[in-house]
Structure 1
Amino acid sequence: MREHLRSYLHFLTLEKNAAANTVASYTFDLSRYLRFLEEEGVREIGRVREPDVEKFVARLRKNGLSPRSISRNLSAVKMFHKFLTGEKVSARDPARMIDAPKLSRTLPDVLNPGEVDAILKEPPTREDLGKRDRAILETLYATGMRVSEIIGLRKSNVDKRGGFVRIFGKGSKERIVPIGGSALRWIDRYLRDVRPKLSRHGSGEEILFLNARGKPMSRMSIWNIVKRYAVKSGLQKHVHPHTLRHSFATHLLEGGADLRAVQEMLGHSDIATTQVYTHIDREYLKEVHKTFHPRG
């Protein structure tokens, strides 16, 4: 069964041009699925039946996975079996009729502008790494980048004269996003005062943001930076890099930005993904009404 998994991952990488993080996620989820099938005595992927997939979903639920995690795992299983059916490895698709658990539509956490400002002011900018961290935080909030996008950002992707940044998102899709003056000023300070020192230690090449060893930063490093300064600012909210992305989108909409423009800047292929932020905006409007209207 493992050779079929390798074939599918090869298909995702070469034919679907899936991002490395996507392939890694499918590898993890489908490896767990195949281990389960082996434990159940299923040795050939073509012999998997619908009850086997149902038992796998039940096992995930018993193990305490959230409905969202179960849904992600089942989606990977469905895509895998669809591929196998198309390749004539299986005569029928045992996962096609399995329903994913219903997901509650939760609104993403959002910071208000004052809370964002408090986080941005926390890095100790008299220190080299403090300057770098300030530039990272400013860039995340100014552009709405994902973590995977900012760690791959190159010096040449920042157009300081034009005030834009070229971002390569999921599936290597390129988008051009404006970047404000504040973020550009901090990037400029970092490039002038800090990056030349860091680059002497490692092989970061053209990558914009480097760690103390001169190498490209990891996803976890960015998470830790955001979390550390959020805690230091005194915020009681659970803040992570995507919180700055959510805040970026929400503040644009609250300021009157067009939904399609926000979709373009976030790199969403489907506007329905962006529309979740209109719900946040409505909550903001309700709060304004409640606070200021005589009958609120």
Structure 2
Amino acid sequence: MEIFLREYISSLELERNLSINTIKSYQNDLNSLIGFLKEIKINDPADINYQHLSTFFKTLNKLGLSSRSAARYYSSIKGFFKYLFASGYLQKNPMEKLSAPKVSKGLPVVLNVNEVEKILDFPNTSTKLGLRDKALLETFYACGLRVSELINLKVADLFLQEGIIRVLGKGSKERLVPIGSSAIQWIEEYLSKSRPLLVKKAISENFLFLNNRGTRLSRMGIWKIVNQSKLGAGIKKEVHPHTFRHSFATHLLEGGADLRAVQEMLGHADISTTQIYTHLDRDYIKQVHKEYHPRG
């Protein structure tokens, strides 16, 4: 598949007046598709059918990719298969039956990197709760956690020297997730300066993020922290706690991260509805996170 991609990218560089960034985006999108196809043992364009491509787009949707980014993927992949068909490599174009994703006309539910940074920079880290909020938001974005996973995170789940945390996901399934250097720095500061002022031994139960009463934060508590930081940062979009998870996945995928590595970080069981799930090497996942996450 890679040989066809190289030929297509060369044709874009030679024949179309596209910017370097646009061509790079096309290449990243198509590399994600090729990685997905390899996982289901497809290496020849002639073997690709409508169902394979439909499953790929459903997978992107499950990972929380924004509708605008999905539309860009569609455009990249449509152009690739149009080229392969026109060049005689395919007898049928598998993209013909596939409808373009609808781009939401409402406010986007994914934050861009600059917006995320504004929210992360809002908490006043000179106060015990501000420092907690900073560490919490950094962890939220660094790891792409569900709200339930964040509030149930315990101090014993942190392996900061190894650059990973242990997460208890849906169905009580454990997974190891990379955590970037920025989040590690703020967690360490929170653990040394803020959490000792919040902890109450009888009721804190080793939970990482605590409220003023010394118990673990509730879902509503997380929502209030996210909303307060969003408003304080001047972000006009409608932002929910789950927005951080969607943004995490989108920023990794748009940067060119491996689809399966992102899926494992998020704790999604399958890369397609037909494939048996196998674990990726932990060091490889950490490398993907470090290379493609904006705060890795």
Interval containing the TM-score (normalised by the shorter chain): 0.5 to 0.7
Q: Deviations over 1:148-192 (max 9, x none)?
A: 001000001110110001111110111111000100110001100
Which residue of structure 2 aligns with residue 253 of structure 1? 253
- In the TM superposition, residue 254 of structure 1 has moved relative to its aligned partner by 1.2
8 Å CA contact 1:204, 1:216 repeated in 2? yes
Consecutive aligned runs of 4 or more in structure 1 exceeding 3 Å deviation: 104-108
**d(CA) in 2 for partners of 1:223 and 1:105?**
28
**d(CA) in 2 for partners of 1:167 and 1:124?**
27
Identity of aligned residues (%): 57
Which residue of structure 2 aligns with residue 203 of structure 1? 203
Structure 1 residues 167 and 269: CA distance shift in structure 2, 3 A: same
Helix, strand or coil at the partner of 2:203: coil
- In the TM superposition, residue 109 of structure 1 has moved relative to its aligned partner by 1.2
Which residue of structure 1 aligns with residue 166 of structure 2? 166
Q: Which moved more, 1:176-185 or 1:108-117?
A: 108-117
AA partner of residue 234 (structure 1): G
AA partner of residue 267 (structure 2): G
**d(CA) in 2 for partners of 1:199 and 1:125?**
18
**d(CA) in 1 for partners of 2:103 and 2:172?**
28
Matched ranges for 1:1-296 at <5 A? 109-200=109-200, 203-271=203-271
AA partner of residue 157 (structure 1): D
**d(CA) in 2 for partners of 1:106 and 1:205?**
45
Helix, strand or coil at the partner of 1:137: helix
Structure 1 residues 105 and 159: CA distance shift in structure 2, 3 A: farther
AA partner of residue 113 (structure 1): V
8 Å CA contact 1:144, 1:266 repeated in 2? yes
Structure 2: state its 5+ residue gaps: 1-100, 274-296
8 Å CA contact 2:210, 2:216 repeated in 1? yes
8 Å CA contact 2:198, 2:212 repeated in 1? yes
**d(CA) in 2 for partners of 1:224 and 1:272?**
35
- In the TM superposition, residue 197 of structure 1 has moved relative to its aligned partner by 1.2
- In the TM superposition, residue 200 of structure 1 has moved relative to its aligned partner by 3.2
**d(CA) in 2 for partners of 1:199 and 1:245?**
27
- In the TM superposition, residue 270 of structure 1 has moved relative to its aligned partner by 3.2
RMSD: 1.8
**d(CA) in 1 for partners of 2:211 and 2:103?**
34
Q: Which has the higher Rg, Structure 1 or Structure 2?
A: 1
Structure 1 residues 105 and 206: CA distance shift in structure 2, 3 A: farther
Structure 1: state its 5+ residue gaps: 1-103, 274-296
AA partner of residue 249 (structure 1): A
8 Å CA contact 1:176, 1:265 repeated in 2? yes
**d(CA) in 1 for partners of 2:159 and 2:102?**
37
8 Å CA contact 1:202, 1:214 repeated in 2? no
AA partner of residue 192 (structure 1): S
Q: Bigger relative contact order, structure 1 or 2, given CA contacts below 8 A and separation 6+?
A: 2
Structure 1 residues 130 and 124: CA distance shift in structure 2, 3 A: same
- In the TM superposition, residue 240 of structure 1 has moved relative to its aligned partner by 1.1
8 Å CA contact 1:201, 1:213 repeated in 2? no
